[in-house]
Amino acid sequence: MRRSTFGAWARGVTLVVLALLWLVPAYLLVVNAMTATEDYTGTPLWLPHSFALFDNVATAWEVGGFGPSMRNSLYYAIFCAGVAVLVATLAAFAVTIMPIRRPVLWFWFVYAGTLLPLQVFARPLFLGAVAVELYDTWTVLTVVYIAICVPFAFFVVRNFLVTMPPELVEAARLDGASWSRMFASIHLPLARPAMAAAFVFQFVWVWNELFFGITLTISPQVQPVMAALARLQTDGTAASPPVLMAAALLVSVPTVVVFFAFQRFFRAGVRSNL
């Protein structure tokens, strides 16, 4: 009894420490983002000396030109993550439910896309985009983001589908249901928690993605929001640290909103993969 109590106490302390390690940087970001530029001393402030958050956000929005880039990232994150999750669900259904040959081989063929560093794809994607005249277009980032998001979403949804009882498939086949009808009427509704969890993961990844955003595009009308944030820090606009932190806080809002909007499905989807 004492050993189990000590284990529970140790886990609780560990979780509190990990939560503090995550919350302290977030707290410093918020406190310094709301500090007026003239009150910023050059070192991180632990207590707010003033409240100029909205002024700093307005300055960052105007100087950084976040309007087009926020619109671009919303499109990339919502559309690309949504299409990738749907494609991944179809692939997971085929590998897990349908009687295809060598399902393990197909699983690794799709999942292998997550095993290589993204920098490996930079040169061929850049040269290919230039060759087909898609460099610096919405199309090239849309295709790349969808392709990169599919493997991990496939892994999440596939792990959920393997837990479903095989009697569902047998009963549906006895009733004469086709594979497409079975997917649309049975497995797709049941897989919604896993799909929602995969969507949250991929939305956050696409929203925070910077490497391909600055490798395959150059114009602000096409680049994602993280490219605009990087440009605000490096283009010599002399934006103060509070303004930069307010901009970082601003661009993180959509990911927080999506997480809380999908948290019920996210928890259910994550539990199904544990």
Q: What is the DSSP letter of 117?
A: -
Give a yes or no: residue 23 inside a domain: no
Q: What is the DSSP string of 7-75?
A: HHHHHHHHHHHHHHHHHHHHHHHHHHHTS-GGG--SS--SS-S---HHHHHHHHHHHHTHHHHHHHHHH
**Mind listing the pLDDT tens digit for each residue in 37-71?**
777 777 777 877 778 788 888 888 888 788 889 99
Give a yes or no: residue 43 inside a domain: no
Contact by Cβ (8 Å): 153, 84: yes
The single-letter code of the amino acid at 246 is A
Q: Residue 1 pLDDT more than 50?
A: no
**Mind listing the pLDDT tens digit for each residue in 103-126?**
888 888 888 877 888 888 888 999
Give a yes or no: residue 165 inside a domain: yes
- pLDDT, position 2: 54
Q: Residue 235 pLDDT more than 70?
A: no
Residues 6+ away with beta carbon under 8 Å from 49? 35, 36, 39
Q: Residue 138 pLDDT more than 90?
A: yes
Average pLDDT over residues 224-234: 86
**Mind listing the pLDDT tens digit for each residue in 62-97?**
887 888 899 999 999 999 999 999 999 999 998 988
Give a yes or no: residue 200 inside a domain: yes
Of the segments 32-36, 104-108, 136-140, 245-249, which one has the largest average pLDDT value?
A: 136-140
Other beta carbons within 10 angstroms of residue 123's beta carbon come to: 10
pTM of the model: 0.84
* CATH number, position 114: 1.10.3720.10
Contact by Cβ (8 Å): 245, 33: yes
Give a yes or no: residue 245 inside a domain: yes
Residues spanned by the domain of 128: 55-272
* Number of domains the chain is built from: 1
Average pLDDT over residues 149-177: 85
Give a yes or no: residue 229 inside a domain: yes
Q: How confident is the model at residue 6 (pLDDT cuts 50, 70, 90)?
A: low
**Mind listing the pLDDT tens digit for each residue in 180-201?**
888 888 888 888 889 998 999 9
